[in-house]
Structure 1
Amino acid sequence: MGVRTWLEGWPVYRQLTSHDPLGRGAAAKSRQSRNLLARTETADKVVKSVCPYCAVGCGQQVYVRDGEVTQIEGDPDSPVSRGRLCPKGSASKQLVTSSTRQTKVRYRRPYGTEWEDLDLATAMDMIADRVIETRRRTWQETDSNGRALRRTLGFASLGGATLDNEENYLMKKLYTALGAVEIENQARI
């Protein structure tokens, strides 16, 4: 390796001999860093999403390559977060790609001791059947004085802080339409 080659590898030499005397641009880059690509440059598509962790609803850009999530970053077009994410939101990729993530519906029958896997359609049908049966069984059309109630006290809803305002609004509409009285969400509490 010659002296000139060695000097060109030295950032101070590049800084003093280039058009970057403050060392904030090309002079500060090594050969290795010049060849690096951002993780987002190789994505096939970018999907807009909302952070799943709290009710703030920060916008996210999900970068996908070959059907796999490669990176999740803040969405600069989001009026809520303007491209910023909290530490949990920044770690959303781990939620999606973790090897310990549950991808099947787990069900334990009443008085059972073992979990079994169900497909989503079966689980949704079971939930719908139970809601309909509970509503039918606990429906109160009128009180003892004949005043209209049109309600059920057989089920309630407690939305979590991982739901945004729109999801909580839709849940409120659904449970009100079903006749539930106890409807709350953690974000408001």
Structure 2
Amino acid sequence: MQVSRRQFFKICAGGMAGTTAAALGFAPAAALAETRNYKLLHARETRNTCTYCSVGCGLLMYSLGDGAKNAKSSIFHIEGDPDHPVNRGALCPKGAGLIDYIHSEGRLQYPEYRAPGSDKWQRLSWDDALNRIAKLMKEDRDAHFQHTNDAGTVVNRWLSTGMLCGSAASNETGLLTQKFIRSLGMLGIDQVARI
């Protein structure tokens, strides 16, 4: 870099003016504040999958306290998982707003049942809900299972019931779901991303 004599004097004059102003008290005050604690310092990190669409973006959810007792109030921060191969830490606006979904007053947190002809929903335990679903599936399968078709060929199929699978499930969960549903003879299988 070439500096002429005039430029050299300008640089020196600027430096002297700055140090003189600082010596006269125009310098910023010394920052004596201590460093702020990182908000995720004592939080428990949980990896999960976004629930909105079929892309399957990875999430990191942070909670404080015992999540088993009160998971709704313990989750305080959600961000994209930078190690996830699908989204690499990025989230769409719906995924970025998941914390509002978790803390929503309208969020359904337990199974409910409305009897035929009733206008009210009644709360069920998870065991009662799963037992009711299993009982209804068994009754329908026993009533509509086809061992053979009209030509006498063995088909072993159950056509009166279908299965709607979750679009945010992993490949392993999808494989297990397919094996389970196909072992019952069910042919009508679809997943949420198509709806």
Superposition TM-score tier, normalisation by shorter sequence: 0.7 to 0.9
TM-score (norm 1): 0.75
For the aligned residues, what is the CA RMSD? 2.5
User: For the residues of structure 1 that align with 2:54 and 2:175, how far apart are their CA atoms?
Assistant: 12
Q: Residues 71-110 of structure 1 correspond to what in structure 2 (within 5 A)? A: 71-110=77-116
* Letter of the 1:87 counterpart: P
What is the match of residue 56 of structure 1?
Answer: 55
Deviation at 1:145, TM superposition (A): 2.3
CA distance in 1, matches of 2:51, 2:170: 12
Q: Distance in 2 between matches of 1:31 and 1:174?
A: 63
Match of 2:164, as an amino acid? L
Q: Which range is displaced more, 173-182 or 53-62?
A: 173-182
TM-score, with normalisation over the residues of structure 2?
0.73
- Distance in 1 (alpha carbons) for counterparts of 2:140 and 2:62: 43
Give percent identity, aligned residues only.
32
Q: Superposed, which structure 2 residues align to 1:103-142 within 5 Å? A: 103-142=109-148
Distance 1:165 1:135, change over 3 A: same
**Structure 1 residue 55: Cα displacement:** 1.3
Q: What amino acid does structure 1 have at the position aligned with 2:51?
A: P
- Rg larger in structure: 2
Number of equivalent positions: 164
Once the two structures are superposed, residues 44-76 of structure 1 have per-residue CA deviations (whole angstroms, 9 ceiling, x without a partner) of x10111111111111111111123001010111
Query: Secondary structure of the residue that 2:186 maps to in structure 1?
Result: coil
Task: Tell me the equivalent position of 1:17.
Answer: none
Q: Which runs of 4+ in 1 moved over 4 A?
A: 34-38
Cα offset, 1:111, TM superposition:
1.8
* Alpha carbons 1:56, 1:80 under 8 Å: kept: yes
One-letter code aligned to 2:169: D
Deviations 1:113-147 (A, max 9, x none): 22111111101110011111111110000122211
Q: Contact between 2:113 and 2:124, CA under 8 Å: does it hold in 1? A: yes
